[in-house]
Structures are given as structure tokens and as C-alpha cells.
Structure 1
Amino acid sequence: MTDDGQPLSEREAAVLAYEARSWPGPGAKERAIREHLGITPVRYYQLLNALMDDPRALAHAPGTVNRLRRIRATRRARR
């Protein structure tokens, strides 16, 4: 994804909103992804990974995107 001047789609914004939430227990997030977003958790995480590198996502939800980038960098450093 690139900064092509277009705003985030509704689905992209929803993915970022879901990632910003806290979830009550194991499986709740994945169930909500299926039921409310209508996509599989695998597809959700693919979209989320692409959004982490999208400047539009950073502008839309800087706290969430920066937190995810830090987590990704930490995991990569452990490898």
C-alpha cells in the first residue's frame, strides 16, 4: 500500500480500530474479526502487516501503527 492521496478504506480503518482495542480473552478477537469484518484472521493479519508500512495508516492511527512497528522491530531483533 502506498500514499496515493486516497483515504483509508472502511475495512483498513476497521482493521486499525480492532488492533487498538483490548480483548477479553483468547479467541475473542479472532471471533470478532470473522463475525464483524467478514474476513479470516489470516487475511486480517495480512492487511494489518501491510498497513504498518502505509503512510496513510500512520496518519490515521499513529499510536497504533507506531506500537505495532515497535513490536515488529523487537521480534525481528530477537531472530
Structure 2
Amino acid sequence: MAEPAREHLPEQDPGKSLLADFTLRESSLSEREQQMLALERQWWKYAGAKEQAIRDLFDLSATHYYQLLNALIDREDALAHDPMLVKRLRRLRTSRHRARTARRLGSDA
């Protein structure tokens, strides 16, 4: 059987797996949580590719994955593990929240 969703994964060296550059660090984060952060470091070329990778790697729906990710990026140990990534994810979340609020209120805030 062919590997699922390989055509949707970001371009990389053929000999490397999606999370090959990921190394477990001494951390209070679980291996799965560290893998989630590693996945968030990836850039996606095709629409839907990230969601397919989430299903393939974690066996989660995208909705459940993002619920877990939002809880994860609020944790101080996640911030200590990868400060730049976690701060970027927090900024993006805040930006999306502000855009939703502005649409609900009918303003351009």
C-alpha cells in the first residue's frame, strides 16, 4: 500500500521523513506535543495538505488537533521549548480572533 498523502507533504529531501529534523529535547512536553510543534514549523504547499498530515501523523481530526494545539501554546513549557514558534502561533491566533470579532461587530478593526 502506498504511503498516505505523500503528495501533499511539503517538499524536502527524499531521504528525510516529515519530522526528521525534529529531535526530542529535555522537556516536560510529551513526544506527541513536541511533534505537534514540529509539524507547525512546516510550510505547506497545497491546500488541505496539513490537514491530511494531521490525520496521518496523529490520527486526529483537524478540529481536535487545533483544540489541543491552542491549549499547548498557552503553556509556559511550550514557550520554553520553542519561543519563536509559540509566539508566532499566539500572534496568529490573536489576529484571527480580532478579525472574527471585527466581522461580528461590523467594523474594520
Query: TM-score band, normalised by the shorter chain?
Result: 0.7 to 0.9
Mapped pair 1:53 → 2:53: no
Q: Per-residue displacement from partner, 1:5-57 (whole Å, max 9, x unpaired)? A: x7101111111111111011111111111111222111110111001110011
* Structure 1 residue ranges without an equivalent (≥5): 1-5
Query: Which consecutive aligned stretches of 4+ in structure 1 deviate over 6 angstroms post-superposition?
Result: none
Aligned-residue RMSD, C-alpha: 1.4
Structure-2 residue corresponding to 1:70: 91
Larger radius of gyration: 2
Percent of paired sites with the same residue: 50
Higher relative contact order (CA 8 A, sep 6+): 1
- Mapping of residues 1-79 of structure 1, within 5 Å: 7-78=28-99, 79=101
TM-score (norm 1): 0.83
Which protein has the bigger helix share?
1
TM-score (norm 2): 0.62
